[in-house]
Each structure stands twice: as C-alpha cells, then as structure tokens.
C-alpha cells in the first residue's frame, strides 16, 4: 500500500509541476499576445472611425451638392432650405450646412441663421470660395474639432458658389476615449480570466492525475451514464471511441450510437418545422420584431423604423393571363416569383407579400441594398426572358418603384388568425412610383428620399425623370431613373444624352418649352427609343399649342 501511495504522490508532484510550468508559460504568452492584439485593434478602430466619418461626409457632400445644384438651377430656394435642414436633422454628426455664393454672401446657414445674406470675410470663407474641386479643411470652434467639407456648386459650367458641411468630431473623440477605456477593462478582465482559468486547469490537472492512480472502470461507467443522458437530450459533450473488444468502452460507444440516432432524427424533424414556418413567417420578420421564433409572436407586436419599400409589377399581366389556363397562370407566376425571391433575400430584403403577380418587399438595412437588389432582379428577368423566347413564349417586362421612409411593421388580425402588415405613406408612394414606370417607359424608378439615402450615389447610373406630388400631400417629390440594368448599348446612349436630357428637364419646369424642345430632340436623335424624352417632347409641343394647365396650386400637371 505504501508503494502504491508513493507512486500516486510522485505522479502528483511530477505532473502538477509540469502543469504549473506549462500553464504559467501559456498564460503569460496569452496575456502578452492579447494585449498586443487589443492595442492594435484600438488603433485600427480609431483610424476606421475617423475614415468612416470622413467618407460619410464626402458622400453626403457630393449627394447634397448635386441636389442643391439641381434645385438652384430652378431657383427653388425653399427646397434647398428643406434639403439642408433635413440633412442636419438626419445626420447627427453634421453640425451645420452653409451655402454661400462666389462673393461669399451667405444664402443659408443652419447653425447661425443671423448670418444669412451677410458677406463673410473670414479666412475659412475666402479659402472655401477659391476651391474648384471638392476639398475639406479642419477647424476648431469652442475647443471642438470640426471637419468641413467644401463642395463647389456649378450651374452649367460657371461656379456659382460653394456648399460647406461642418462635421463635428466630438462623437468620434468620445467614442475613441470610450474604446480606450473598454480596451483597458478588457485587458483587466482578460488577466483575471486567465488567472482563474489557469487555476481551474490546475485543479483539473490535480484531479486527472489523481484519477490516473485509481481504477479506470469507475469513471468509464460514469461516462456511460452521462452518454445515455446525452442521447436523451443532454448535448454537453462528444467522445470518439475505437472499439477493440467488449468492455466498458464498448458500452460507452453503443450509448453514443444511440445518441447519434436520436439527435439525427430530432434535428431533421426540427429542420423540417423551421423550413415550414419560414415559408409563411420570414426569419427577417422575426428579427425585426426581436422574436426568437414564431411561437413568440403576439397580436399587436410592432416596430417602427426607416426602411426602403419595393413594389414590382408585371406589365400587361391581365392581358397575358387571359391567354393562359388557370394552371398555366399559376405555373407562370410561380416560375417568375421563384426567380425574384432569392434575389431579394440575397440583398438583405424580405418579401412582405405577393399581390398576384406583384411583389412588395422591404429592405431594413439600407437603400443601396434595395437599389442593387432591384438591378439584380431586372438582370435575372433578362435571363428568364431568354429562356421563354427559346421555348417560343413572349418576353415579359416589369416595373420597379423604390421609396425610403419611416414605417410601422407589425401584426394585425385576431387571436385565431393574424397576418403581418406595413403601415406608412412611404408604401403608397412606392406603389405610385412603380406605376409611373409605365408612363416613362423605364424599368426602375426611385424617389429623392431613396436617392438621398444612397451611400455611394455615383456608383449607379441615375438621371432625374420628373417632379410629382404625393396624393393627399402638398409637397413635391423628385423621381429618378436608375438604368444600370439596361443593355450596355442603351446605357451608353442614356449616359451620352443625360446632360441634354436634364438641361431640357430644367427648362421644361421653368416652362421654357420652346427652349426645352431642342434638348429633347437632340436626345432622340441619339437615342430614338428614349421613352422619357419622347414623353417630354410631346408635352412641350402640347403646352406650346394649348397652353399650360395647372392643378390649382401653381403646379404643372
């Protein structure tokens, strides 16, 4: 007995010494490596936060300057005022917007309106009006760092003035300080965790060494019972065993085999349930309502947030469906929708509902996902039409309308029958914009609200199409065409004629129809199939002949 205890004692001393040395070395190396990693991550985070703020400022400056230039061309000062104040309201880090002409006279100042129609003589103002390209300068006001983005405003080829956007870096500075504090707390927590983990491993090492000196059969039998519990639903561990002959190990292997069968059956059944639920309740819908599963949804659950709404519809579907039998109608619609639905999901959108051949989808992430998804839908439709033509069928065409705005998403109905729905004016406007695609012969139209929310509007091929009124509302909404999904030849023609088209558009809205006609005629000389140019040319001729009708609110019909 003494010799047996002596072996156990020697094993304990030897193994514990090795474990202590190994744990001390690994803990020290782990702490040092994590400290270096966290320091590097902090530096990267600081750089990234500043770069993101500057990129966001540059993007907003480009977008807002373009909008201001368009509205300035029609001398719509109220719209410019609205655009600048909306930008300051939506962009919390934007301290001010300042619009000055080439003589440094202030037209609008969102932070200091008392300076409006005053001539500035500060060195910042002198520097700003001298810039012919977009640039930026760093200022300090009341101890606060301000990064000012300067965007020249040009009308035709003449520089009218500049738009100055001042971004406060206070939030970035505060976030950097907060990140540094978090990093220090993480390091302290990591040291404590590492020490505790080392002590736990040391304790386990002691237990393991102690158990080695005892009989092997007892722990194996205990593991066998644990394995049987795991087979009944306790998924705490997995053990891989090679069976050589009948002993406790073979019993353990049999138990794990039973566990594997039960797990496989349960998993497949659960997977089937989940797939069935997701056909009716999209996973994104649950996420938006902060629900784990469909079982957690209650009547009246709702959330309010800004999203981009998509409406799409097949052109002349009624006439097309009349030529098909009922089963052919369903086969056709399902073939079309089965190609569109994956595209929406791939771009982080969710299908809210199918309305016959029409699709209503929501994009809760950002407007760029909605625009890219719409472009992808049109490209997939082009491939589908090639398949239809090879089968001797006529091609189909769709119109897509996008609008961005606040909306309420939730559940309505009763306790025995409920459904999801969306309530918002943004939905109605998106539906109306989709209807306008037929008038202008375009595939994809977006509102100015969506255009303003694009992170990189210059990434797309966009031209202004019209200014319309929302039904029941007094304000006007600018509509844009996105033609990235057009054929390369059509896209090139629209790019070539975009300046003439937009110049004619401005003159048209100035009611200078005689001056606007030549621009639209030049567009059609290059691109005779431009439906929008045809539409405007026809309007110009009609208004020249019969006069301009108004809707009672000094707005062109």
- Cα–Cα distance, 554 to 557 (Å, whole number): 9
SS3 per residue for 473-530: CCCEEEEEEECCCCCHHHHHHHHHHHHHHHHHHHHHHCCCHHHHHHHHHHHHHHCCCC
Q: Which residues of 175-212 are buried (b: 16+ CB within 10 A; e: fewer)?
A: ebeeeeeebeebeeeeeeebeeebeebeeebeeebeee
| Per-residue pLDDT tens listing for the chain (557 residues) | 444 445 556 656 776 677 777 777 877 777 777 777 777 877 777 778 778 888 888 888 888 888 888 888 788 888 888 888 888 888 888 888 988 988 888 888 888 888 888 888 888 888 888 888 888 888 887 778 888 889 898 887 788 889 888 888 877 777 777 777 777 777 777 778 877 887 787 777 667 766 655 554 444 555 555 556 656 655 555 555 555 555 555 555 555 556 555 655 555 555 554 554 444 455 555 455 444 444 445 444 556 788 899 999 998 887 777 777 888 788 888 888 889 999 998 999 888 887 878 888 889 889 999 999 999 999 999 999 999 899 888 899 999 999 998 887 655 555 555 455 566 678 888 989 999 999 999 999 999 999 999 998 999 999 999 998 766 666 789 999 999 999 999 999 999 999 999 999 999 989 899 999 999 999 999 999 999 999 999 999 999 888 877 553 434 44
Question: What's the pLDDT at 556?
Answer: 46
Quick one: tokens of 4? 């047996």
Contact between 462 and 427 under an 8 Å Cβ cutoff? The reply is no
Q: What is the DSSP secondary structure assignment for residue 118, as one 8-state letter?
A: P
Q: In sequence order, which residues have a C-beta less than 8 Å from that of residue 90 and are 6 or more positions away?
A: none
**DSSP β-ladder status, 444-447 and 398-413:** parallel
Is 370 exposed, middle or buried, given 0-12, 13-18 or 19+ CB atoms closer than 10 A?
buried
Question: What's the pLDDT at 2?
Answer: 45
Closest CA to 478 of 154, 61, 79: 79
Taking phi over 0 as left and psi of -120 to 50 as alpha, with beta for the rest, 371 belongs to alpha
Query: How far is the first Cα of the chain from the last one, in angstroms, to the nearest whole number?
Result: 107
Contact between 15 and 205 under an 8 Å Cβ cutoff? The reply is yes
What are 100's strand-pairing partners?
106, 162
Quick one: tokens of 557? 């019909």
Question: What's the pLDDT at 266?
Answer: 58
Other Cβ atoms within 10 Å of 390 Cβ, number: 8
Question: What's the pLDDT at 347?
Answer: 93
Contact between 111 and 95 under an 8 Å Cβ cutoff? The reply is yes
Closest CA to 556 of 509, 495, 504: 509
Q: In sequence order, which residues have a C-beta less than 8 Å from that of residue 302 and are 6 or more positions away?
A: 289, 408, 409, 410, 411
Question: What's the pLDDT at 289?
Answer: 47
Contact between 404 and 453 under an 8 Å Cβ cutoff? The reply is yes
Q: In sequence order, which residues have a C-beta less than 8 Å from that of residue 414 and are 6 or more positions away?
A: 299
Q: In sequence order, which residues have a C-beta less than 8 Å from that of residue 531 and are 6 or more positions away?
A: 440, 441, 442
- Cα–Cα distance, 174 to 157 (Å, whole number): 42
Listed in sequence order, the DSSP H helices in 160-247 are: 170-212, 217-231
Q: What is the DSSP secondary structure assignment for residue 302, as one 8-state letter?
A: E
Closest CA to 8 of 202, 171, 213: 213
Q: Kind and range of the H or E element at 109? A: strand 106-109
């Amino acid at each position: 007995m003494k010799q047996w205890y002596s072996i156990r004692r020697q094993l304990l001393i030897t193994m514990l010494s090795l474990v202590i040395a190994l744990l001390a070395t690994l803990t020290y190396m782990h702490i040092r490596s994590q400290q270096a990693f966290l320091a590097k991550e902090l530096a990267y985070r600081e750089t990234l936060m500043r770069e993101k703020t500057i990129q966001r400022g540059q993007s907003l400056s480009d977008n807002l300057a373009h909008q201001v230039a368009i509205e300035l061309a029609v001398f719509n000062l109220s719209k410019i005022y609205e655009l600048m104040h909306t930008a300051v309201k939506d962009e919390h880090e934007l301290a001010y917007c300042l619009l000055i002409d080439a003589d440094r006279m202030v037209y609008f100042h969102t932070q200091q309106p008392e300076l409006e129609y005053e001539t500035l003589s500060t060195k910042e103002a002198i520097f700003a009006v001298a810039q012919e390209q977009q640039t930026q300068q760093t200022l300090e006001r009341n101890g606060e760092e301000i990064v000012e983005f300067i965007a020249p405003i040009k009308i035709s080829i003449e520089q009218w003035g500049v738009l100055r956007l001042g971004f406060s870096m206070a939030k970035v500075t505060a976030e950097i300080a907060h990140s540094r504090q978090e990093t220090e707390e993480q390091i302290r927590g990591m040291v404590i965790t590492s020490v505790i983990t080392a002590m736990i491993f040391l304790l386990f090492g002691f237990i393991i060494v102690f158990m080695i000196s005892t009989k092997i059969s007892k722990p194996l039998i205990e593991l066998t019972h644990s394995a049987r519990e795991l087979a009944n639903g306790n998924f705490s561990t997995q053990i891989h065993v090679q069976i050589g002959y009948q002993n406790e190990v073979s019993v353990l292997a049999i138990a794990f085999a039973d566990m594997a069968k039960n797990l496989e059956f349960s998993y497949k059944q659960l997977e089937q349930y989940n797939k069935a639920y997701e056909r009716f309740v999209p996973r994104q819908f649950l996420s938006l309502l902060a629900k784990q599963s469909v079982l957690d949804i209650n009547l009246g659950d709702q959330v309010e947030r800004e999203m981009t709404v998509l409406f799409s519809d097949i052109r002349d579907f009624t006439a097309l469906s009349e030529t098909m039998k009922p089963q052919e109608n369903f086969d056709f619609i399902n073939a079309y929708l089965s190609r569109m639905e994956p595209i929406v999901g791939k771009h982080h959108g969710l299908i809210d509902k199918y309305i016959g051949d029409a699709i209503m989808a929501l994009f809760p992430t950002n407007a760029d996902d909605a625009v890219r998804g719409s472009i992808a839908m049109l490209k997939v439709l082009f491939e589908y039409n090639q398949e239809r033509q090879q089968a001797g069928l006529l091609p189909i065409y769709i119109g897509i309308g996008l609008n961005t705005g606040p909306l309420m998403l939730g559940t309505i109905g009763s306790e025995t029958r409920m459904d999801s729905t969306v309530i918002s004016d943004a939905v109605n406007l998106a539906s109306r914009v989709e209807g306008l695609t037929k008038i202008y012969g375009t595939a994809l139209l977006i509102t100015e609200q969506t255009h303003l929310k694009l992170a990189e509007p210059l990434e797309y091929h966009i031209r202004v199409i019209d200014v319309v009124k929302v039904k029941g509302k007094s304000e006007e909404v600018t509509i844009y065409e996105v033609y990235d999904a057009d054929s390369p030849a059509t896209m090139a023609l629209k790019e070539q004629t975009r300046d003439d088209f937009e110049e004619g558009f401005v003159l048209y809205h100035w009611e200078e129809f005689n001056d606007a006609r030549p621009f639209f005629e030049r567009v059609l000389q290059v691109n005779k199939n431009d439906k929008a140019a045809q539409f405007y040319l026809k309007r110009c001729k009609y208004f020249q002949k019969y006069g301009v009708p108004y809707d009672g609110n000094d707005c062109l019909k």
